[in-house]
Amino acid sequence: MSPPSLPRPPAALDAVPLVSSARRTLASSLRSRVAGDDAAERARVIWDSPGERWFTPDDVIWRVHADASMFVGGIRALLVQSLHPLAMAGVAAHSGYKGDPWGRLQRTSTFLATTTFGTVEHAEAIIARVRAIHERVRGTAPDGRPYAASDPHLLRWVHLTEVDSFLVAYQRFGAAPLTAAEADRYVAQASVVATRLGVLDPPMTVAGLEAALESYRPELASTPAAREAARFLLLTPPLPLPARAGYAGLAAAAVATLPRWSRVPLRLPWLPVSERLVGLPAGSAATRLIRWAMTAPPADEPERQRAG
């Protein structure tokens, strides 16, 4: 049985100045956290620059990557990614996810937004920058094995976990779930960017995605670094107290959608009843609130309407 759906905030509430102000404040805070203090300028470059694009509003990838469910998918992806010892070694040593977690999030969100919604010129430029960074990220894991962020095998693991997590989150918390054919198209469209980033043989269907993820299972392990990353993401996020309740809903939803095989190595219990009755509804509430806030009209829209 699925959890009860929660009502959307009535559109009429936006006519109430206090509610409208709160909505804009929340939207501004979210954009600043996710995209940085220069979020408005970055958005103008991504959305307003003329030129050819890989995707359009009619494409499935546009719908998925523009949805608030990406917040849940992002947390889930990081949790699953941490189970590959070599990938986690690179993150722990080079990403600065503890010292500068918001900077890492902002760089990731800018990459996703540029490659999904931006021009081909801007997308190819940011992919080139990321590939250059990957070439410099090298080291030795605690178990003695060398790793390199440019390794196509590790790049493929990161790609698979992201696509799977974004798709799972969207199907559960998105504005409108995808059909089976649309889900296959999403996986195929995500491969456009992945191939240019250095991923070899990315899957083109959901079935292919599931099979590819399964093939990595023998390589995964519970490591101190993975468990520490999970504790950081779920228990001690770098957020002020007022924001932690909303984040807790997103984190609970991410955990509730994890594959069962990932729970033991991350030291996360499987609590199906509480996750169904608490975790999933909390995720639905949090994503709907974010979606409501992020679709707030620009600050000058009331003036434009009055002028018209």
pLDDT tens digits along 279-297: 788 878 888 878 877 775 5
Q: What would the pLDDT profile of 163-172 be if each residue is shown by its tens digit?
A: 999 999 999 9
Separation CA 63–CA 77 (nearest Å): 19
The yes-or-no verdict on residue 185 having pLDDT over 90 is yes
> What would the mean pLDDT of 70-92 be, rounded to a whole number?
93
Q: What is the pLDDT of residues 255-273, one digit of tens each?
A: 999 999 999 999 998 777 7
Cα(169)–Cα(257) distance, integer angstroms: 8
Annotate 83-148 with DSSP letters as a single string: TSHHHHHHHHHHT-TTTSHHHHHHHHHHHHHHHHHS-HHHHHHHHHHHHHHHHH-EEE-TTS-EEE
Tell me what the pLDDT averaged over the chain comes to: 83
Q: Return the percentage of the chain with pLDDT > 70, whole number.
A: 78
Whether the full predicted model's pTM is greater than 0.85, yes or no, is no
Summarised one tens digit per residue, pLDDT across range 145-161 is 999 999 999 999 999 99
Residue-level pLDDT at 11: 47
List pLDDT tens digits, range 219-235: 999 999 999 999 988 88
Residue 205 scores a pLDDT above 70: yes
pLDDT reported for residue 283: 79
Mean pLDDT along residues 80-86: 96
pLDDT of residue 284: 86
Domain range summary for the chain, segments of one domain joined by +: 13-303
Give me 70's structure tokens.
Answer: 């990406």
Predicted local confidence at residue 204, as pLDDT = 98
